[in-house]
Structure 1
Amino acid sequence: MLEHGGNLRDAAKRFGRDDWVDLSTGINPRWYPAPQVAGNAWHRLPEPDPALLTAAEAFYGASQMLPVAGTQAAIQALPRLRAPSRVAVSAPSYAEHAHHWAGHGHTMTLTPYDELPAAVAQHDVLVVVNPNNPTGAVVPAVQLLEWADQLAARGGWLVVDEAFGDTAQENSVAAHTARPGLIVLRSVGKFFGLAGIRLGFVAAHEDLLRDLADLLGPWTISGPAQQIAHAALSDKAWQAATRAELHANGERLRALLAAHGVQSSGTPLFQWWAEAQPEAFWQHMAQRGIWVRLFTQAARGIRLGLPPDEAGWQRLHAALNEWSKR
């Protein structure tokens, strides 16, 4: 199983603390205040709720979507819906895509972002994380739609993972997924900070959604998760306030790093940079109770999410001061 952020039990086991500031995930630390759910949501088998789909399609701008148990469920299932294919996965990016496309008879190639245009003509499937996790790189929507058309003309797919796209909806291609061959993944966990309910959505042509639903089977989304997500996706006031807050805090994080000599890139939810000594930085932060995401493979660097409160900001500031003066 691949390593991911949010593994605070591992952090505590290794470093022996219980006062962690978790900056390892890029998840909004100020999550949507989940409402009380109806009592029978814990009792009844979770029928699909049409109101949830209506709210999701309105929020994401898509004409048809399928709820899934987090985008991870779709990432694992999509490679099983195609015959063996030539697959290019943007790199560096969320490692689960490459991990699963490397199986099921496919030929998978990790492709740097600047080589993606050439990869379209040489592959059957192109997987792009947009904005990218961990670097924050963005491919313009107009470019993605051109690639989607080229791939679809020969029966191919463009899979766009927009899990971190909720703070920049203008670059989403979810509204165009009624066309065959364009598949968009969206997450309730990141922007809404509700990773614990395990809910995401796939936007795609109705035929692909039907095949994906058949593969995943019944009752994939719990009743409580459906009710909480419906409230979050419908709450426009909270969404607008949260976007403004995240943009401000994302800029604060970028500026804080720059003040300590770190030139980073990212999104309003995280910052990333190619740290020259990533293991030493990770160790330095962990010893001060700050858990960051260490990357040591194709992209050697560090990703930081947003602190949850002012005390967390001050701890990060102090730790960065010590690092820059070492």
Structure 2
Amino acid sequence: MTSDGEEGAIRHGGDLGEARRLFPQAPEPWIDLSTGINPIPYPWPALEASAFTRLPARADLAALEAAAAQAYGARPDHVVAAPGTQALIDLIPRLRPPGRVAVVGPTYAEHAASWARAGHAVAAVADLTTEADVVVVVNPNNPDGRVAPACDLASAAAGLAAGGGWLVVDEAFADLEPVASLCGAPPPGCLVLRSFGKTYGLAGLRLGFAVAAEPLISALRRGIGPWAVSGPAIVIGRRALADEAWRREAAAARSRDAARLDALLAAAGGRIVGGTTLFRTADFSDAQGLFGHLGRAGIFVRRFEAAPARLRFGLPPDEAAWTRLAAALGAR
């Protein structure tokens, strides 16, 4: 299953190799709008050599997790750091015996694929349910931005926990959104995932977090093992997570960018479906034609074979990219 729901190898955004294969004559540099990553990265600090040359100390990792707890409104002992949320998505299904898993979708397909690889029976559902051993929900959802109220999630978690089940809430896009998070008081049997790279524009750093109460958080910590997070990721992550002013400014600036992008897409005939501060999703009468037109102009966006009228656009990184996108949309 792909990340947009069709059968076959999972396809992700950000693959400029695919873009160049599809559009070999496109002008360079490419404008990659196929991801939901903040195009304005956090200004990472200069790093001491020791960040690369020695194994991270437990105290350093604890300081990183404390910074994440502060940023997410969680207790430090409820937070575990990992080398990206994808590592957690792969690990969590291996922490319980095979059972029935419901994934609220359509959504990020790695969730269903990871549970299936671990031997679970996976079903796609349209809404929250407790008719499973595990329920997975992305909140806000990718690609449509749908938000599940915290009270509904807490109710589902309670129903699942009563039967020994889990609720997995992927809050990868929650940092810059006015979304009520479960990180402050995760219910029993609830695991919350938070992405670092998307918010801070540093996806290559590979850093993510899980938030849960006992005994789940200890099970996750054991499953991840020692030294899972690199020294550079600990240093940069700790600095960025503690920078509340940068996060507030980024949320405001990216919200303005999202509104600007909505206006461009609507002017080009798109019907805005939704999205988040970091990406916008729209339906077009000729989405596949527009995908090709933009690709030939060196602009790569996210298409969905299971929803051929739909395209997802990340945010342009600078005024030159905004100008190229506006020109390409206006010239079709």
Query: Structure 2 length normalisation: TM-score?
Result: 0.91
Contact between 1:183 and 1:204, CA under 8 Å: does it hold in 2?
yes
> 1:21 matched to which residue of 2?
31
Summarize the alignment of residues 33-52 of structure 1 with structure 2, pairs less than 5 Å apart.
33-48=43-58, 49=60, 50-52=62-64
> 1:139 matched to which residue of 2?
148
2:224 aligns with one of 195, 216, 224: 216
> 2:71 matched to which residue of 1?
59
> 1:235 matched to which residue of 2?
243
Contact between 1:88 and 1:108, CA under 8 Å: does it hold in 2?
yes
2:18 aligns with one of 2, 6, 10: 10
2:138 aligns with one of 129, 132, 139: 129
> 1:206 matched to which residue of 2?
214
Aligned partner of residue 102 in structure 1, secondary structure: helix
Q: What is the Cα deviation at residue 234 of structure 1?
A: 0.7
AA aligned opposite 1:26: G
Matched, 1:78 2:88: no
> 1:279 matched to which residue of 2?
288
2:204 aligns with one of 196, 204, 212: 196
AA aligned opposite 1:57: A
Q: What is the Cα deviation at residue 61 of structure 1?
A: 1.0
Contact between 1:92 and 1:299, CA under 8 Å: does it hold in 2?
no
CA separation of 1:298 and 1:66: change in aligned 2, threshold 3 A: farther
Aligned partner of residue 176 in structure 1, secondary structure: coil
Matched, 1:160 2:169: yes
Matched, 1:149 2:181: no
Aligned partners of 1:202 and 1:44: how far apart in 2?
A: 25
Query: Structure 1 length normalisation: TM-score?
Result: 0.93
Residues 171-214 of structure 1 deviation map (CA, whole Å, 9 limit, x = unaligned): 2111122x321110000011111101000000012321222222
AA aligned opposite 1:285: L
| Structure 2 spans left out of the alignment, 5+ residues | 1-8
Contact between 1:278 and 1:296, CA under 8 Å: does it hold in 2?
no
Aligned partners of 2:91 and 2:285: how far apart in 1?
A: 36
Aligned partners of 1:140 and 1:263: how far apart in 2?
A: 25
> 2:313 matched to which residue of 1?
304
Contact between 1:89 and 1:97, CA under 8 Å: does it hold in 2?
yes
Contact between 1:250 and 1:270, CA under 8 Å: does it hold in 2?
yes
Aligned partners of 2:67 and 2:170: how far apart in 1?
A: 20
Q: What is the Cα deviation at residue 300 of structure 1?
A: 5.5
Aligned partners of 2:83 and 2:125: how far apart in 1?
A: 28
> 2:252 matched to which residue of 1?
244
Q: What is the Cα deviation at residue 18 of structure 1?
A: 2.9
1:103 aligns with one of 102, 117, 123: 117
Residues 275-323 of structure 1 deviation map (CA, whole Å, 9 limit, x = unaligned): 4443322211110000101111267521100000111111111111123
Aligned partner of residue 297 in structure 2, secondary structure: coil
| Structure 1 spans left out of the alignment, 5+ residues | none
Considering fraction of residues, name the structure with more helix: 1
Runs (4 or more) in structure 1 with deviation over 6 Å come to none
AA aligned opposite 1:207: P
Q: What is the Cα deviation at residue 261 of structure 1?
A: 2.1
Aligned partners of 1:91 and 1:51: how far apart in 2?
A: 35
Residues 201-256 of structure 1 deviation map (CA, whole Å, 9 limit, x = unaligned): 00012321222222222211100011001110011121111111011111111122
Contact between 1:276 and 1:301, CA under 8 Å: does it hold in 2?
no
CA-atom RMSD in angstroms: 1.5
Which has the larger displacement, 38-47 or 158-167?
38-47
Which has the larger displacement, 294-303 or 248-257?
294-303
Contact between 1:87 and 1:101, CA under 8 Å: does it hold in 2?
yes
Contact between 2:301 and 2:313, CA under 8 Å: does it hold in 1?
yes
Which has the larger displacement, 257-266 or 49-58?
257-266
Aligned partner of residue 75 in structure 1, secondary structure: helix
AA aligned opposite 2:236: I
Aligned partners of 1:274 and 1:137: how far apart in 2?
A: 16
